[in-house]
Each structure stands twice: as C-alpha cells, then as structure tokens.
Structure 1
Amino acid sequence: MKKPLPAAIAGAVLAYCALATPTALAQPEAASAMEEMIITAIREDRKSRGATGLDLSVYETPQSLSIINAQTMQDFGLTNINTLLKMATGVNVDPTETDRTTYSARGFDITSMHIDGVGMPFGNLIVGDIDTVIYENVEIIRGSNGLITGLGNPSGTINYVRKRPTNALASSIKLTGGSWDNQRAEVDVSVPLTESGSWAARAVLAYQDADGWLDHYSNNRQVAYVVVDGQLTDTVTLAAGYTHQDNNSDGVLWGAVPALYNDGTAIDYNVSTSTAMDWTYWDTQSDELFAELGWQISDHWLLTTSARQIDYQDNSEIFYVYANTGVGLDAATGLGLLGYPGKYADERDSLVLDASLSGRFNAWGQQHQLQFGVSSARSESEGLSYAAQSGFDVMPPFPGWNGREVPRPAFAAPIVSAEQDIDLDRIYGSLLLALTDNLNLILGASAVDYTNDGVSYGVPTSASEDGTNPYIGFTWEVLDGLNAYGSYSDIYQPQYVLGEDLNPLGSAEGKSYELGLKKAFANNTLLTLALFRTEQSNLEEFKAYGDGDGIDDTDYSDDFDYSLYRGIDVESEGVEIELAGQITGELRLQAGYTHLSLEDENGDEARTFIPRNTLKLLMTWQPQALPKLAMGLSTRWQDDIYFDSAYGRIQQDNYVVVGGYASYAITEGLSVSLNVDNAFDEEYFSSVKYEQVYYAAPRSVNVSASWAF
C-alpha cells in the first residue's frame, strides 16, 4: 500500500470561491469598495454547483432539487443527517444497523456526498452519525449526477454547504436535554478579523451524549469546525478550514434482530430489544482540512480551485447473531441462534483536488454560460482484522437476553485483511446556450478514468475502467413563472464489490430521463412536478456472506470474510411533486410526494425494501397575533415494504410518523423550545433491507434553550 497522502498537500493547495456567482462578484468600483462588496457576496450568496455545474437557481435547474436550511434544522431538531434526510422529498433512509446507514432516491443507492459542491464518490455506506451543526444548507439533487461527479448514478447527490463567517460579530449557544438522557450543547461564534470585514473567522462546536431506546446502546459525539476566509487582493479570495468529528457508540448492533421463527411466524419482542453484547462498541473519527481559492479574472469569468484532505478512522468490537443454517430459530424453544464476534480497525486517507473555470459570454444576441474543469480524487485504505479466539457460542433462548450472554472474547494479533487504493480522474464541462429569452439548452459531458488497486482477504479486487457521461437538458419558460424542463444522462457507476465468483462485479450502466414543470409563486415559493425513468444494468444486489469455498456451513466456520453481490437489471419510473416556500406571511411549507415503480429484468418487483409511495411534510407557523411564538409540524408517511427471507416474508406495513415543535422568544436573544418526535408512538422497523430488523425510535421529547448575542 502506498503511504497516505500528506495533509500538508491540502493546506498548500489554494481553493475556490465557486459558490459565489460571477455577476455578484464583479463590481466596477474603486479597490476599497470592491474589497468589501466581494467578500459580502461570497459569504451571503453562496451557491452550490447544483445538478449541472452552472450558476442556476432551483427554478432554472432541469432536475429536482430540495434544500433544507439551517433554520429548519434548528427548529425541528434535525441534528444528524439521518433525521434530516428522513424529511427530504424522495429520499429513503435505511439504518440497517445502529451505526451503519444507506440512503436511496428513485430506487437506487445514493453514492455521492458533496461538501460545498465538491464530492468524494467512493461509497454509499455511512458509519456513525454525521452531525448537521456545521452546515448552512443541505441540498438534495435527485436524478442523474454525472456532470458534477463524473459517475452518473441515477439516484442523486447530497450536497452539504458549510457555514461561513458572517459580516458582523455574531454568536449563539444552544443547550438541549431530553429522552434517553440526551444532553447536547452547541456553540457558534463568527468574528470579523479586520475593521472592514474583509477577513473573518467562524468556529462551531457541538457535544452530545445520549443513551438510546435500544438496550445497552449509547452514543457520544463531539464536533469542531473552524474556518477563516478573506481577500488576498481585490479579485482573489481565500478560505481555509478544519473539521473534526468524533463519534463513539457502545452496545451496537452488527446485523440486527431475528424477525422470523423457522415456521415463518413473526417474533414478538419489545421495541428496546437488541442482540448486542454490552462490551461492543463502534468508534469513528474524521478529520478534514480544506482550502479554497477564487480568482475573479474579469467581470464574467471566475477561476476556482479547491482541495480536501480527509483522514478517517474506524474501530470496532462487534457481535453478530445469525440462525443456524437449515435449522433457524425454533418457535417453541427460542433456540437456534449462533454468535460470531469480530474486531476491526480501518483507516482511510482521501484527497480531492478540483479546478474549474466558469463564466458568461455574449453571442447571437444572448448571454450564455460555460464551465470547464478537471478533478483528481485519491482514496487509500487499509483494514485490520483481529480473529476472535472465543465467543462462537450457541446462544440461549431468544428473546430475553441481557447483553452478558457472551463475555468479551480474546482476540488474536491483527492481520491486514483488506487494502484498497482508488484513483478517479475526470474532465468535465457544461454549456448553457440561451436559444431565446425563454428557451435554454444545456449540454455537458464528463470523462472519467477509474483505477482500483486492492485486495480483500487474499482475493484481488483490482479494476481499471474509463467512461464518459453525456448530458443534455433544456428549460423553457412557457409562461411567466412557469418552466418546462427535461434532462437526459448516461449512467456509469463503478461498484466496489465482489461478485459471486470472487471477481469485481464491474460497473453499473444505463440511461436516466426526467421531464417536469416548475411554477414559481410569490415569496420564493416553488411547485415542482417531475416524471422520471431510469434503465440500469448490472446493479449490485447483496447475495450472501461467504468464505469463498462455496460450502454453506452450518456454524461459524462459514466465515463472514466476503460480502458477495450479484448484478441485476432494474427499471425505475415514477413521479415526484414538491411544494416549498413561504405560503403566507405566517405559514412556511416544505412538502413532497413520490410514487415509484421498480422492476427487474423479469418484470418482477425489485428492491422491495424501498417504499413505492412516500409523503414528507415540514410546516412552520408563526402567528402574527403572537409574534414571539412559533410552531411546527413534521409528518412522514410511507407504504408497505418487505423482504423475502429463507423462512418467509418480513413485512413492514405502511406507517406515519408525526412530530413537531413549539418555541417562544422570552427576550430578543433568548428563546426556549419543545421538540417531539414520533408523537403517537408509532411502532415500526427501521429497515427491512436484510433478513434482520430492529425497531425504530419510539416517542421522544427534548427541551432546548437558545441564546443569540
């Protein structure tokens, strides 16, 4: 394995201000005036590169785009990305274990996570909680994302927009306490460093310690973020920052809880039931350095560069419970389960460099946009495995465990179980041609060169591929405030998994289409109607765990060395409707409905753990008669989902989860709030993606006090 890329590289690479619009930055004023106006535009008008890489509003973008801002996160207590994305239109959250989660949209896994418009497309599995305290907005771009990632996954992209310094001194403190001994503190301070405000800094800290509704589970999370930005010259801006998140969980699930007895009947157990042993833990730590530089070359052209260096560590001692093959869990005795302990340590160092030139030009009596860029991403990882020397026990009758059935085992010295070096280089570009005042044509392409050099438990996982994603879209303002749009993109998605033959499965490929209407109303309210269709081949689907010998053993000797996948062909189509904005002076609404159809090559239902119909709603009401009072309602509904296991169908019926908040401003800077989630104590499985399940959180109540000064 190559040595990790040094963090000093990230600090030395100058990076971009691409989130500010070129037109906002251009000012024909004297240098002193320009200095203040440029930095104000950068901080107050930060825009991501959306779905096309161009400077387009949500209304102008030919794809579906939802934004959840910091105020909504604060109001509804969306302190981690799982709770936030559960409220995002079209997104399905699958927490298959207490500390591992996958996300999907339009039937497919979301594999691309961006920060400030620059991404690291190296996987779809999130370990631990991602705290939202450092983000100003979270954007969910649904549909093919080849222009901004180079990998045309048809699900979409999640873009986290980091908080930046404000133009005046500002600070706040928030303290929260509530169910399951939840204790949380947040501090946010922004300070101008110069009298003019041309340089400023911001620091955000968060600490949370809480138990869980599941037996034995607890979580401690610490977050620190600091950023400094300012102007080197009248036309050159620089930002640099550091993010640290430490997430420590005890009493964790690896796998989950058996759902069925061997006769196919459902197991009846409490919402708090867990198969975790009390010695288990799963700790993660992420440290990121980033630097951004923007050069306003002229009134209409901006050169941007960025660098991100991420160091990630993952350490765990975990315990897996599974049914004896061919026997299952006996309904009369509760016997038939086996234990499998594990100890793992993983490290991953990643570096992403990106540079782009974007701007506007006039031709044929119209103004057009152009963006051209290059990016290079590197990810180097190593995994250690510690063989357990005990703990492979025949488990006692289930349910009724206390977490002490199997003592912490002794573990052998570690071996290097997996190594993986991924290189992803690409050239990308997009062009918006204003054919008329009301009709825009968007053309784009992304060429990708991908190399994966790796091994897993002695089996090579190496692969080398290249591909190109063409993109075409249009927007047509048929009436004032009414945009018709459409987009098409090829799909090219490398997959970092092994097939059943212990060879790399290879890439998924296909085509993605979207047609829609966007209607803009007063108060920045937007109604979006989207029709979408995707055709995808060789899509990874989990098949089984195995040790590569092809023998399905009946005990722990069938090692869980590999996760084996098969490639399937899937067609997805559906419709999405979203309404977001200030409906009246008192009422703000963000609501969306998604209908989805997913079929395999035989015309049968595919990926049945994904709901076919979902409804999300966030509503805030601030009555004019009581200006110090604000209230909110959150609602999410989904229809039936299921998973067909060897012992029968694991079914989750349709359910609705209702929550809300009420806040009151005691003084101008001091307010108190009450947040309730799952107010009606709905009982439902968190996921049925695999053959094991556990119950999602029951009703919870939290009280907060916030002080802004």
Structure 2
Amino acid sequence: MAFNTMGSISRQAHKRQWRLVLLGCTALVAFAPAKSMAQQVENRDPGIVLDTITIDGKDDDSKSIVATKTSSGSKMATDILDTPASVSVITAKELQQRGAQSVEQALQYTAGVSTDFYGSDDRFDFFKIRGFDAYTYRDGLPLGRPFGGLREEVYAYDRVEVLKGANSTIFGVSDPGGSVNYVTKKPKSERFGDAYVTGGSNSRKEVGFDFGDNLTTDDTLSYRLTGKFKDADGEYDYSRDDEKFFIGGLTWRPTDMTSLTVVFDHLHRNGVPGSGGHPVGSDFKRSRFFGEPDYNFRGTDRNTVSVMFDHNFGNGLSFNSNARYSDAKTDFGYAYISKTPTDGSTIAERSFFGNESSNENFVIDGRLQYEASFSGIESRSLIGVEYNKSSSSNDTYFGRAPSIEWNNPVYTGGPVDLPLIASTRTKQNTKAVYIQQDLTFADRFIATVGLRNDWLDIGQRNRLQNNALDEENLSEFTSRVGLTYRVTDEMSVYASYAESVAPPTIGLKPEQGEQYEVGVKYQPTAFPALFTASVYDLTKNNITVTDPITSNPTTVGEVRVRGLDLEAKSEITDSFSLMAAYSFMKSEIIENGIAGGEGNRLSFVPEHQGSLWANYKIAGSGHRGDMTFGLGSRYIGSYYFDNTNTTKTKGNVVVDASFSYEFIDKSTFNLNVRNLFDKKYVAYGGFGADFYNPGREIAVSLRRTW
C-alpha cells in the first residue's frame, strides 16, 4: 500500500520539495570536495575493533537527571546530540526525586507532553505527545496505545524515553505525535539495593524493594529482584487503589562479548475506573461519589517474560535481539453521570459501562549492526526484522442506570443483566523488515536514513453477528531522513523528515502521518546538562478518534499541529538542579470529518503549556545530614473537550513539592506533595458530567539504599 496519499497535487509537490531539500543536503555532505571525501573507498583494516556505544557505559540513571544517550532515536545506542529528533529521557533519579507514581506523573515535566486531561478517570494512562495519542514500547518492543490498555508500573523501569514526532521506521506502526519507550530494570554486575516504606493520603500504605548482586565471583551471573505492594484508596468514596507487583531477572555473561538476560514480571491491580463524574456546573468535593459502590471495579492481571540477547562478534559487527511473551487480562465496570438536567432539577441521569478484555502477545526483534570507518567517513548500519503475533478479545457492556439525586444520593446497586453491545475476537500478525544508516563525515556532519516495511494481517470476528469474520492484509512502507551538524563538541543542529503509520481499525483507513522538524541541542561539558529547542510541522491523515465513553471509533479527516518545544535539564552544581519545559502547539482540523469542523482546534490540545522544577541541597554538617528541597510548577493552557470546540477549560497552574533528609548515611526521610495548594478545575467535561483534576496528594517515605 502506498504510504503517501495526499489529496492535492500542490501539497504533494510541496512535500516532494521538502524531501528533495533534505536528501540534497545529505548528498552535498556525502560528495563535498573535501580531500577526505574525494578518495575512493578503501578496505578497512580487519584488525580494527570499533567501540560499541552502550547506554550503561556512560549514563547512570540512578545518579543523574541528565541522560546523554538513547536508543529510541534509531534502535542503535546514540548520543542524544547526534540524534536528528527531539528526545527526552526521564531517569530513575528524576522519577524518585519527583515521587512519580504513574506514567502520567512521570511525563508531566516533559515538553510536548500533555497529561491529566481525563481528570479522575483512572482506567488508562492518559497522555498525548504533540497533540496526538502516543504509542508505547517496552525495551523497543510494542505495547500499544495507552488508551484502552493497562496502566504501566513505573517502578519497573530504569528510565522512560520520549521520542517526539512521527517515526515508524524505528519501532514500527505508531502515532505521529511521538512514542514512549520504557526501559526495564535489569541485573547489574555489582551489589546494590533500595528499599522503602510509604504512607500518605487516601489511606496509602506501600512497601517496595529493588536489589541485586552477582551470583558468581567473576561477574558472569547476576540477579535483580524488584517489588512493590500497595494498599490504598482513591480520592473519592467507595474507591480502592491496591497493587501487587514483582519483577525478577537473571543476566548471564559467559564472555565479555556476550550477554543473555531473562526477566519475569507480574502485575496485579485491584482498583476502580473513576469517580463517575460530578454534575455539570457543580462544585462538590472530590470525595463525593455518584456512581454505584456495588458496580465499581478495575482489575488488571499481567504476566510477562522478556529475553534480551547481545553478542559482539568483533571488528564492528554485533547482534542484538529482544523477545517478549505476555498474557494480560483487564476489566472494569462503573456507573457515571451521563446527563445533567438544565431545568433546575437536581436529579442526574446515569449509565452503566463495563468492559472485559484479554490479550496474548508474542513479539521478537532481531537486528545486526555493523560499524566501519573508511576515507574519513564513519558508518553505522543496522538491519532488523520483527515478528509480532497477538490474539485478543474484547467485550463491552452498556445500559441505562437509575438516576441519582445529587444532593441526597441513594445507591441502588449494580445492574442485574447489563446488555452486551460489542464482542470481538481479534488476531493480528505483523512482520517487518527495516534498515537504519548513519554516516558521519569530517566528524561533524551526520546523515541518517531509515526505511521500513510492515506487513499486517488482521482478522476480527464479531460474536454479535454470528462470528462474522472481517479480514485485512496491509503493507505499509515508511521512511525518514535526517541531517545533523555538530557545530561544536557541545552543540548540534538538525533537520529531519519522518513518516508514520498507525495500526488500523478494521473498516477504517490506516492513520498516516508525516513531520518536518528542525532543532538545536546544547550539552555543556562544564556540568551535566542538556538544552534542546525544536520547531515542527506535523500532519496526520485519516485520524481516528475514540469516544472516551462508548469507545466507538470515528475519523476526522486530516489534522495538523505546528509547534515549538523547549526543554532544559541541568545539574548546575552538586547542590542545585533545574528542569524547565515549554511547548506551543497550534492544532487545526484541515479536512472536516465526522467529529469536527474545518478550522477548529483538536480536543485536549492546549496551545501553551510549561513546567519548572528546581532542587536545592543543603549539605550536612556535624550530626545533621543532607537536606534537599524540591519545588515544581506546571502550567496547562486552555483546551477544548471536543473537536466541535463548544466547551473548554481555562488555563491552570498546579504546584508540586518535595523534601528529603538523610538522617543516617544512605537512609532518608522523603516527603512528596502533588498539587500542593489543592488546585481544583474541570479537566474533562462537556458530555453530561464534569471530571476534576487530581487533588492534593501527600506521601511520606523512609528509604534505605546500599
């Protein structure tokens, strides 16, 4: 299937001109009349062994908020300065420093990422990148869209990598706004440990541990065990937020050139999907509950086995492979306010909504990487294949619920027989082949090219229509090209063009996107820091919009987001660190569709948003240990609740804070407060109920590291 299917000849010509400019720049660099480039290619000395770049070799995510390398830009571990894309990394230290307990909280201080726009709805991880739902990955292997999936446990990961913009040539089918890659905690070749106990708001009681060591004296076999157990409530009545999580891994290093890691993890959650909303225009406390206590549940059970293999053959040739098998089951059911009366009545209509789903998935990715140097040109080549097989079921229930008097609520119990409105069984097989090529000229110019083709075989049976089978076989080709110039050892500028294609819904066209981006990055050598700025023009066609209540998909034709991202992460001194981010997003529906009008803004996309977080440490003296104070502020600009642009929320500022005191060597007292001043606003509404943003949350922890 041809990727580029634009509706106007002039627009096609414009895009071809951009491609020619980028490809032309690459060609000019490749064939510039420099003496080191004009020579014929010479055979490489077989005795030369190029150093392999590894993330673990330089970045220690537990000790710094500043990352210098990433694998999300090309599936090859690369300096962030050399990556022709905007990349943000949230390290383990930053996650702990800010006390992030969810993916949404982890991403809240990242430029271009918006969160919390569904308020107290706790079913999924809700976030967008550059105005679009993001696609998520774990160790480079696809997990899927967070909307409709299960909520990830951030304590399982060493870092969270955010790749902004269209780029299906790296990880495969994805949305054009960007991707989030979670990097699993793996064994280390040293003894280490971390353990904590936490108590706090909403009756929260929690313990966690993360430790590992070598099992042999020669570092050939190491282990790591990580766990988290939580007993808590939500911020509203009749809620719960319980969790049991465990992950264990073994790494075998038979030689310095080979490693094999096997990781098993189990995630069990027993929670609730949300508050059910509040009457439109009311101002009740967040704790008020208008759902049904007897029909209010959200369950998650997932078991996962991951295998990671790496082998360096020497002479610049290496092989890497990741594989993962997972079996997940989720369900939820709740009653919500579906209509607030406008005639002065205080009786709100309600509906029941429920879902049961399961997914069994096996995915494997193998890639061969070759690094060489000839005639002043450094080359890194990657060729890979991926196979992804999944089988899932999805049952959706919906029906009317008894109305409720919101001034004196009386609960009536759960539904006796809730109608099944949708029941599908889906199987999908995806095969892909991809190549990535980096060429570095004169130690300054880096040309990057990526090509990928995905073959998708999808079959879906509708149980409500006599198991009627719908099938689609698709072939999707995507490409990207980028050019980076290292102005100095500390600064680089880049320009790139990238394409994306999202997994289709049967009966709807695949969503296709493309992005033009230019940016600059600065990484001083005087202190750990990374400053980035980028501007982009992002277009998406055949965009599918999922109604948050009914989960029915519709399309809105073509949309565009043009924007600016600014981000800074710095450890200016041993005592002071600062993170800052700002985003401007101008979204527009270009071609009208079912769910919106031309010229309107996209829903849940603020034009402006920004954040600032500062940490200051007062060094210990005498019997007093180190004290660290943290203060952060997040601004979320005004956004619309729907594509018709009829209702919206105003801009709001939320303040977070933290405090840490080392009362004994490597033992600390930690205090984290989210939404310090308990700022309250309607994060989502417009369909019959209002959903407030998360309220103030206080957590007190005792932590021991070794």
TM bracket (short chain): 0.7 to 0.9
Q: Answer whether contact 1:102 1:126 (CA < 8 A) is retained.
A: no
The percentage of counterpart residues that share the same residue type is 20
Q: What are the residue-to-residue correspondences of 1:646-665 with 2, within 5 Å? A: 649-665=646-662
Deviation at 1:230, TM superposition (A): 1.7
Deviation at residue 485 of structure 1 after TM alignment: 0.3
Of the structure 1 ranges 636-645 and 404-413, higher mean CA displacement relative to structure 2 is found in: 404-413
- Structure 1: distance between partners of 2:416 and 2:83: 56
Aligned to 1:84, what secondary structure does the other structure show? helix
| Map of 1:638 onto structure 2 | 636
2:404 counterpart residue number: 396
Deviation at 1:565, TM superposition (A): 0.8
Give the secondary structure class of the aligned counterpart of 1:82: helix
The residue identity in structure 2 corresponding to 1:708 is: T
AA in 2 matched with 1:445: L
Q: Cα gap change, 1:524/1:640 in structure 2, threshold over 3 Å: closer, same or farther?
A: same
Q: Which moved more, 1:433-442 or 1:128-137?
A: 128-137
8 Å contact from structure 1 (residues 462, 504) kept in 2 = no
1:4 paired residue number: none
Tell me the residue number matched to 1:549. none
1:271 is matched with which residue: 286, 299, 302?
A: 286
Contact conserved, 1:448 with 1:466, CA < 8 A, in 2? yes
Give 1:228-239 correspondences, 5 Å limit.
Answer: 228-239=250-261
Separation of aligned partners in 1, 2:581 and 2:247: 32
Q: Is residue 52–residue 148 contact of structure 1 (8 Å, CA) maintained in 2?
A: yes
Kindly indicate whether residue 590 of structure 2 is the aligned counterpart of residue 590 of structure 1: no
Matching residue of 2:447: 441
The residue aligned with 2:311 is 295
TM-aligned CA distance change 1:574 to 1:201, over 3 Å: same
Structure 1 residues 666 and 698, CA gap change in structure 2 (3 angstroms): same
Select the residue among 601, 609, 612 that pairs with 1:606.
601
| CA drift at 1:197 | 1.6
| CA separation of 1:198 and 1:451: change in aligned 2, threshold 3 A | same
Q: Would you say the 8 A contact 1:538–1:569 is kept in 2?
A: yes
- Verify the 8 A CA contact 2:458 2:472 in the aligned structure 1: yes
Residue 535 of structure 2 corresponds to which residue in structure 1? 531
Counterpart among 122, 146, 152 of residue 168 in structure 2: 146
**One-letter amino acid matched to 1:207:** F
Query: Structure 1 residues 584 and 44, CA, compared in 2 at 3 Å: closer, same or farther?
Result: closer
Partners of 1:64 and 1:239 lie apart in 2 by: 30
Question: How far apart in 2 are the matches of 1:474 and 1:141?
Answer: 17
**Alignment partner of 1:72: what SS?**
helix
Question: Does 2:156 match 1:134?
Answer: yes
- Per-residue deviation, residues 438-495 of structure 1 (Å, max 9, x unmatched): 1111011111111221134436553221111111001102244221101101232233
Look up the match of 1:512: 515
Find out whether 1:429 has 2:435 as its counterpart: yes
* CA distance 1:656–1:304, change in 2 (3 Å): same
> Are 2:362 and 1:347 equivalent residues in the alignment?
no
1:674 deviates by 1.2
- Return the offset for 1:543: 6.1
Q: Superposition pairs for residues 409-428 of structure 1, below 5 Å?
A: 409-411=415-417, 417-428=423-434
How far apart, in 2, do the equivalents of 1:649 and 1:398 lie? 25
d(CA) in 2 for partners of 1:298 and 1:220? 48
- SS of the residue corresponding to residue 404 of structure 2 reads coil
1:619 aligned to 2:614?
A: yes
The answer to whether residue 260 in structure 2 is matched with residue 219 in structure 1 is no
Which moves more between the two structures, 146-155 or 177-186? Answer: 146-155
- Residue 275 of structure 1 aligns to a residue whose secondary structure is coil
SS in 1 for 2:81: coil
Residue 51 of structure 1 deviates from its aligned partner by 1.7
| Letter matched to residue 435 of structure 2 | G
- Change over 3 Å in CA distance of 1:268–1:674 after alignment to 2: closer
Instruction: Choose which of 84, 96, 103 in structure 1 pairs with 2:127.
Output: 103
Whole-angstrom distance in 1 between the partners of 2:349 and 2:655? 36
Is the alpha carbon distance of 1:271 and 1:139 closer, same or farther for their aligned partners in structure 2, counting shifts above 3 Å?
same
CA contact (8 A) 2:352 2:415 kept: no
Query: Is the 1:253–1:319 Cα contact (8 Å) retained in structure 2?
Result: no
For residues 597-652 of structure 1, give each alpha carbon's deviation from its aligned partner in whole angstroms, at most 9, with x where no partner exists. Answer: 00112651321322111112232211346661111112211111222599x94332
Q: Which residue of 2 aligns with 1:695?
A: 692
Contact 2:485 2:494 in 1 (8 A): yes
Relative to structure 1, the CA distance from residue 430 to residue 704 in structure 2 (aligned partners, 3 Å threshold; closer, same or farther) is same
Q: TM-score, normalised by structure 2?
A: 0.84
Partner of 1:245: 267
1:369-399 CA-to-partner distances (Å, cap 9, x unmatched) read: 11110001111012346788xxx44403335
Residue 128 (structure 1) shift: 4.9
Change (3 A) 1:299 1:607: same
Give 3-state SS (helix, strand or coil) of 2:232's partner: strand
Aligned residue in 2 for 1:117: 140
Q: CA deviation at 1:170?
A: 2.0
Q: How many equivalent pairs are there?
A: 636
C-alpha change, 1:386 and 1:80, in structure 2 (3 Å) is closer
Distance 1:400 1:461 in 2: 48
Does the aligned pair in 2 maintain the 1:48–1:116 contact within 8 Å?
no
AA at the equivalent of 2:288? T
C-alpha contact 1:43 1:166 (8 A) present in aligned 2: no
Distance in 2, matches of 1:73 and 1:25, equals: 28
Aligned residue for 1:694, secondary structure, equals strand
Structure 2 gaps, min length 5: 1-48, 62-66, 592-597
* Counterpart among 331, 335, 338 of residue 322 in structure 1: 338
1:593 CA displacement: 0.5
Instruction: Report the equivalent of 1:672.
Output: 669
Say if 1:421 and 1:87 are closer, same or farther in 2 by CA, change over 3 A. Answer: same
User: Partner of 2:32 in structure 1?
Assistant: none
Instruction: Find the residue that maps to 2:342 and give its secondary structure.
Output: coil
Residue in 2 aligned with 1:183? Answer: 205
Q: Judging changes above 3 Å, is the alpha-carbon distance between structure 1 residues 413 and 638 closer, same or farther for their aligned structure 2 residues? A: closer
Find the counterpart in structure 2 of residue 472 from structure 1. Answer: 481
CA shift for structure 1 position 689: 8.5
**In structure 2, distance between residues paired with 1:63 and 1:687:** 32
Which of residues 566, 570, 573 is equivalent to 1:581?
570
Change (3 A) 1:466 1:39: closer
Alignment of 1:54-133 (within 5 A): 54-93=76-115, 94-95=117-118, 97-111=121-135, 113-120=136-143, 122-125=144-147, 127-133=149-155
Deviates more, 1:267-276 or 1:684-693: 684-693
Alpha-carbon distance in structure 2 between the residues aligned to 1:589 and 1:126: 35
Q: Distance in 2 between matches of 1:544 and 1:668?
A: 49
Q: Which moved more, 1:691-700 or 1:219-228?
A: 691-700
Alpha-carbon distance change, 232 to 569 in structure 1, aligned in 2, over 3 angstroms: same
Q: Is 1:282–2:298 an aligned residue pair?
A: yes
Contact kept? 1:447, 1:466, Cα under 8 Å: yes
Once the 2 structures are TM-superposed, how far is the Cα of residue 188 of structure 1 from its aligned partner?
A: 1.3
- Deviation of 1:152 after TM superposition, in Å, equals 5.2
Letter in 1 for 2:349: L
3-state DSSP of counterpart to 2:202: helix
Q: Measure, in 2, the Cα distance between the counterparts of 1:413 and 1:337.
A: 18
The CA distance in 1 between the partners of 2:353 and 2:308, in whole Å, is: 44
What is the root-mean-square deviation of aligned Cα atoms in Å? 2.8
Tell whether the 8 Å contact from 2:279 to 2:348 is kept in structure 1 after alignment: no
Q: Deviations over 1:337-392 (max 9, x none)?
A: 143354x432100111100011311122222111110001111012346788xxx4
Indicate the residue corresponding to 1:383 in structure 2.
Answer: 394
- Worse overlay, 158-167 or 62-71: 158-167
The 3-state SS of whatever aligns with 1:188 is: strand
For structure 1, the residue ranges without an aligned partner over 5 or more in a row are 1-21, 27-37, 261-265, 497-502, 546-559
1:455 maps to what in 2?
461
- The one-letter amino acid of 1:465's match is L
Shift of 1:206: 0.3
Work out whether residues 338 and 687 of structure 2, in 8 Å CA contact, stay in contact via their aligned partners in 1: no
2:14 alignment partner in structure 1: none
Partner SS for 1:329:
coil
